[in-house]
């Protein structure tokens, strides 16, 4: 099972998680945004492109601790899957995920899919659906972009 991870964060220097999304091959999704990040530490880009998109899912806004618990509970549903891969296109997404959950649950492995993403499919996704720089839209776009590429054989 491939699960595509994307995050939004405050700044490249003072990097603090704002939101996180995970989208599984079978369509199951997780999205959460934090209510307790410091908006004053956001870069100008984040203020312009990311912050205006927050709040679309009012029931998915959490404190950091509550977000951690909700995400771990969501990941538990995959315990029976034989192969579980957390796929990301940017190393910072992996680092922010690991920081949030303290330690990735057993049975999951990380896979950097950056070189496997089809930029034409990514752009087609955003033209049709919009939402660029929203973690849920970006995770969905990555899942769409990679299509049926077998990432396990791409190691």
Q: Name the band, by pLDDT with cuts 50, 70 and 90, for residue 33.
A: very high
The domains of the chain are located at 2-154
pLDDT at 120: 94
Instruction: Tell me which CATH code domain 2-154 carries.
Output: 3.30.420.10
Q: What is the pTM of this model?
A: 0.94
| Chain segment 18-32, per-residue pLDDT in tens | 999 999 999 999 999
pLDDT at 153: 60
Q: Which of 65, 74, 91 is nearest to 30 (CA)?
A: 74
CB 51 within 8 A of CB 39: yes
């Amino acid at each position: 099972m491939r699960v595509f991870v994307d995050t939004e964060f405050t700044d490249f220097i003072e990097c603090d998680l704002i939101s996180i999304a995970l989208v599984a091959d079978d369509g199951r999704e997780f999205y959460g945004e934090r209510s307790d990040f410091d908006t004053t530490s956001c870069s100008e880009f984040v203020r312009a492109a990311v912050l205006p998109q927050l709040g679309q899912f009012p029931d998915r806004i959490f404190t950091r601790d509550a977000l951690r618990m909700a995400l771990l509970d969501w990941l538990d549903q995959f315990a029976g899957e034989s192969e579980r891969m957390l796929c990301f296109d940017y190393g910072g997404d992996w680092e922010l995920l690991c920081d949030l959950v303290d330690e990735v649950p057993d049975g999951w492995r990380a896979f950097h899919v950056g070189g496997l993403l089809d930029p034409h499919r990514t752009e087609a996704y955003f033209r049709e659906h919009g939402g660029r720089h929203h973690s849920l839209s970006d995770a969905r776009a990555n899942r769409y972009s990679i299509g049926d590429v077998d990432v396990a054989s791409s190691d």
